[in-house]
Amino acid sequence: MIKVDNSHRTRLFTNASSDEIDDLKSRVANKILEIESGSRDYNKLAMFENESYKDNISVFLYKKKIDEAIKLLLDEVADKAFKNELRNLQKNLFKVLIGDFKTIKEYLIELDSSNSKLIHRDSTTKSADFKKYQKRFEDLYTSQLSGSDEFKKSFFRLFTEQGINVCPYCNRNYINPIYKTEKVGNDYKKKSPDIEHFFPKSIYPLFSLAISNLLPSCDFCNKIKSNVDTYPNCKSPYEIEEDDFKFYFDPLDVSSSTIKLESKFDNSKILHLENLYAKVHNKFVDEIYLESRKYPLENRRFLNRFFSLPLDSQKRLYKRKMCNYYLEDDFNKQPLSKMTKDLFMQIKEDEE
């Protein structure tokens, strides 16, 4: 699990680019920053709702579409309390759609503690009303994001522009989108990574288009995570801190070691990461780890020199020696960076 930036600029995307749209986007971003450093009242964004290009910006288009869907739902659902909750959601749409991760999680906790009908965990006991509400949001997600070429491309650009190349969940597979210009035979014209809902949309349909609930992920993580509930025992890559997960390595004998993953959160359990790393990447670890133990003197000399260098030189030397990135901020650039760093630090600790 690798940290991903959740600042205000990484939460706005558009279906096109022009001077007018870019200008509006930048004014909205500044307003979000102002809101988040003050009242945290996201409804202040309503001031942009009369602007000509507002539907080119994800948050305004999605709010309009959800408003329309809720109006239809109010005629479709039978339960009065359910209707009231939908009306209440309508008042909180800016917060849901553009709020940072902390904000949407607080809203989830608030709804959950009042046993909100907008959240339902048991897939076998969903009411007819919940199913209608889930279907409306599922359709919106498909038509407005996963099936909308322009918005989808712009969503992925939020991450590629930050240099994020690897799945933030497993730190194993590349997630760079490929947009082919020509069709060859019967192949697909486009290929993009999956969009992963951290809080599953089947349990929390209201977060289907909430930007702080969305991350690009590899196909494998998206499938394996599926609809497993991540609340309350998992951390999103948007909120993760460096020490929340740590790999460690058990030398079994002279020729092999085992990879373990330590964490007080359930992410690695849900994604089966420990098992996956131990089975797939143990050879890579053995080559480095056991090699360092074979030549203790040489290893000690290298480490002494390494930790006496300034940070810039450490970064360069680490890249040469470990073929990866030294700093947490760069972990999203290359696969296995977190495991490699933890391995390097364990080799150092073993020395002490």
Q: Which is nearer to Zn ion, 169 or 249 (CB)?
A: 169
- In sequence order, which residues have a C-beta less than 8 Å from that of residue 204 and are 6 or more positions away? 108, 118, 119, 213
CB of 86 to Zn ion, least distance (A): 34
CB of 327 to Zn ion, least distance (A): 21
- In sequence order, which residues have a C-beta less than 8 Å from that of residue 199 and are 6 or more positions away? 104, 108, 207, 213, 229, 230, 231
Write the DSSP assignment of 30-61 as a string of letters.
HHHHHHHTTT--GGGGGGGTTSTTGGGBHHHH
Contacts of 24-30 spanning 24+ positions with Cβ under 8 A: 24/48, 24/51, 24/53, 24/54, 24/56, 24/57, 25/57, 28/57, 28/59
Q: Which is nearer to Zn ion, 211 or 221 (CB)?
A: 221
Q: Which is nearer to Zn ion, 14 or 217 (CB)?
A: 217
Should residue 66 be labelled a site residue for Zn ion when binding is judged by CB under 5 A?
no
Integer angstrom CA distances of residue 65 from 61, 93, 236, 279? 6, 11, 27, 45
CB of 338 to Zn ion, least distance (A): 12
Q: Which is nearer to Zn ion, 108 or 164 (CB)?
A: 164
Should residue 218 be labelled a site residue for Zn ion when binding is judged by CB under 5 A?
yes
From candidates 12, 89, 170, 210, binder to Zn ion by CB under 5 A: 170
- Would you put residue 336 in left (φ > 0), alpha (ψ -120 to 50) or beta? left
**Which of the ranges 65-73, 219-227, 292-300, 310-318 carries the binding residues for Zn ion, by CB under 5 A?**
219-227
CB of 329 to Zn ion, least distance (A): 19
Binding string, residues 140-169; x marks residues near Zn ion by CB under 5 A: ---------------------------x-x
Should residue 221 be labelled a site residue for Zn ion when binding is judged by CB under 5 A?
yes
- Helix then strand then coil, % of the chain, to nearest 5: 55, 10, 35
CB of 12 to Zn ion, least distance (A): 25
Residue labelled with tokens 């901020």? 329
Q: Which is nearer to Zn ion, 222 or 292 (CB)?
A: 222
CB of 196 to Zn ion, least distance (A): 9
Q: How far apart are CA 149 and CA 144, in angstroms?
A: 9
Q: Which is nearer to Zn ion, 161 or 219 (CB)?
A: 219
Four-point Cα dihedral 95, 99, 102, 104, nearest 10: 40
Q: Which is nearer to Zn ion, 1 or 12 (CB)?
A: 1
Q: How many chain residues are in contact with Zn ion, going by CB under 5 A?
A: 5
CB of 172 to Zn ion, least distance (A): 6
**Which of the ranges 83-91, 180-188, 217-225, 282-290 carries the binding residues for Zn ion, by CB under 5 A?**
217-225
Under the rule (CB under 5 A), what is the footprint of Zn ion?
Answer: 167, 169-170, 218, 221
